[in-house]
Amino acid sequence: MSVTKSKLFSFLSRSGLYSVEEREGRLVISFSSLDLEGILGGYAEITIEGREEGGKVHLQRVTVVRNGRSEEVNVEALEGWLEYIEMTERGSHNTQ
């Protein structure tokens, strides 16, 4: 499962707080927002681990932290969210 890197970063820059670690083609993205906290009930953060290839982020692992508890979830759980990002974002955010 993958998403265009520039579109993902564009979405994240408008939608909440996020951090990115990039090293040798590997990405770790942590994301939190008030909307996410409202949906999951309390403090919540999603961490996405993957690799970058050809302008795409290929997801390999997703972890949800909710109220201090960490749980790994199936990458496919984000399919609808990633499709939404691909359809709605222009990808104009500079990721360099």
Considering the entire predicted model, what is its pTM?
0.75
- Decide if 51 contacts 25 (C-beta within 8 A): yes
The helix or strand, by DSSP H or E, that contains position 6, with its residue range, turns out to be: helix 5-15
Note whether 18 and 10 are within 8 A (CB): no
pLDDT in the model for residue 91: 60
pLDDT value at residue 92: 52
- Provide block-wise average pLDDT over 10 residues at a time, the chain (96 residues): 91 83 92 74 86 94 88 90 88 49
pLDDT number for residue 94? 46
Structural domain boundaries of the chain? 2-88
